[in-house]
Amino acid sequence: MFVLTDKLTGIVFPFVTPSVILPVNYLDKYIIFNLYTFAPGTYQIKTRYSMKNLYLYTLAAMAIFASCRKNDDDTGNPPPTPPGTQDSIQVIFSGGKISLSALYESFEQKTPTFVVRKGKPNKPFNYQLTGSNGLKRTIDTIAKGTGTLDANGNAALFVPALNNYKDGEITVTVTLANPDTVITAKAQKAEYEISSYLDFMRIGFYIHGDTAAHYIQTQDFAFPDTVFTSSPMSGYLYGSYDGQGHKITNLTIRSAGTPPGTTSDVGLFIASYEGSVLKNLRVELSEAGVTSTGPGNFGGLIGRLYENSTVINCSVKGKVQVALNAANAYAGGITGFAEKAKIIGCSYRGDVSGPVAGGIAGLLGNGSVINMCYAYSAFGGTNVGGIIAVRAGNVNISNCYVVPTAHTMPFQAIAPVATQVVVANCFANMGTERPGLTIADLGTINTSLAAMVINNWPVGVPQPANNKPYKSDTDLNSPMKLWWE
């Protein structure tokens, strides 16, 4: 049906076919009329006509109408499917991505890896996962399987083999038959991006021996007001952890140590596997900090560093305290025990005490190196050292300083005096001088540190433009800070 409206008089002329009859007095006048169709839009025509011309223009208007209807209908899209007849799929993940904690929840069958919803009840399907960056190892296999929708047309799938895939885009493809239907969903897998304490606690839960694992911390995070009885991490550190300058705060550990004849490694990290790297992390313990009443290796950062492990540009603030009557117990601001390890560009500010307690490490093993580190701390215990308390074998300590806020006696300014301990270019404001160690007041120490230049910069450690490892604190009466702090 068409409608003609005279814009001058307002008279409306409805008609269905071109045979509509108009009043005679309109035959020789200009009129303006609008052509309305069921298609969206209004077409305005201005004409001078006779009855013959009116028929011609009417035919043209009908042609326009037919063309508009055809264009509106010819979208190329199929008609919409009624609700409940087409399946849809959703991948369940945490925080906009599949995080390490989300992987753990799926692995433990607490949260589905993905769900199929709004399908036909009791319908079977196949699924398969693909990853943009492939699988982690040659022995890993792709994740695929089958399932059946429940009476409500839903299904929840737990896919532990998702852990086999490298980080990147994960696509799940679900195929249903009768009629054939293929539906997909995508999500970003970010197993090696640590953004919360929940992610951190799951490091190493799946593959404990993956030395190719390289974790990066994407933001600051804090632990809740939980008192842990051991390290919050579930396994040793394999590969590397890069804090990217971020903080981890509010950690409390209250350990009872271990039974006689066993060893406990306790810290933010339990321990590092051989060759692991831990770098660019700032740790601020809770007010209670890390404490123990029994034996073990206790550090603010890590309980124990195994052979060829490296710690670079890390800091710890807070208490690390072990009961003085604990046997075989080693406490350190950074680590309790470092064995053939390197600790470079690290600092400790807090209160360390125990039967064996050091500002950086309680016990430093053979072949270990500590370079460009400092401790600004209170010290207490039986065998106490500003940088290390005891050593086992040949060790090297250079370009370090110690400023105790309090200490018990005897106090070893940097390390125990022994031929196996090489000390070079170090400073302290109390203790006894020895080769490589200068005892001076804080002002003199700061002046010496400000002038220190390291030309032979350690490999793998980012260096400042001036090659100076220390810079002034905002409070000029305080000890110097490291170049990256």
Taking only the tens place, the pLDDT of each residue in 263-304 is 689 999 999 999 999 999 999 999 999 999 999 999 999 999
* Domain-located, residue 347: yes
Clarify whether residues 156 and 273 are in a common domain.
no
Clarify whether residues 262 and 327 are in a common domain.
yes
Clarify whether residues 56 and 136 are in a common domain.
no
Clarify whether residues 57 and 161 are in a common domain.
no
For 107-139, write each residue's pLDDT tens digit: 899 988 888 888 889 999 999 999 999 998 888
Q: What is the dihedral of CA 13, 17, 18, 19, to 10 degrees?
A: -90
Tokens of residue 9, six digits: 């008089």
Q: Number of folded domains in the chain?
A: 3
Clarify whether residues 43 and 171 are in a common domain.
no
Clarify whether residues 69 and 99 are in a common domain.
no
**What is the structure's pLDDT at 9?**
47
Clarify whether residues 57 and 158 are in a common domain.
no
Total Cβ atoms within 10 A of residue 265: 24
Asked if the model's pLDDT at residue 335 lies above 70, the reply is: yes
Clarify whether residues 69 and 92 are in a common domain.
no
Clarify whether residues 358 and 416 are in a common domain.
yes
Last residue of a domain, which of 45, 73, 101?
A: 73
Last residue of a domain, which of 135, 155, 190?
A: 190
pLDDT band at 87 (very low <50, low <70, confident <90, very high): very low
Last residue of a domain, which of 31, 46, 73?
A: 73
For 174-198, write each residue's pLDDT tens digit: 998 888 888 888 899 999 999 999 9
46: domain range? 2-73
* Domain-located, residue 79: no
Percent of the chain at pLDDT exceeding 70: 78
Q: Are 336 and 293 in contact (CB under 8 A)?
A: no
Clarify whether residues 329 and 472 are in a common domain.
yes
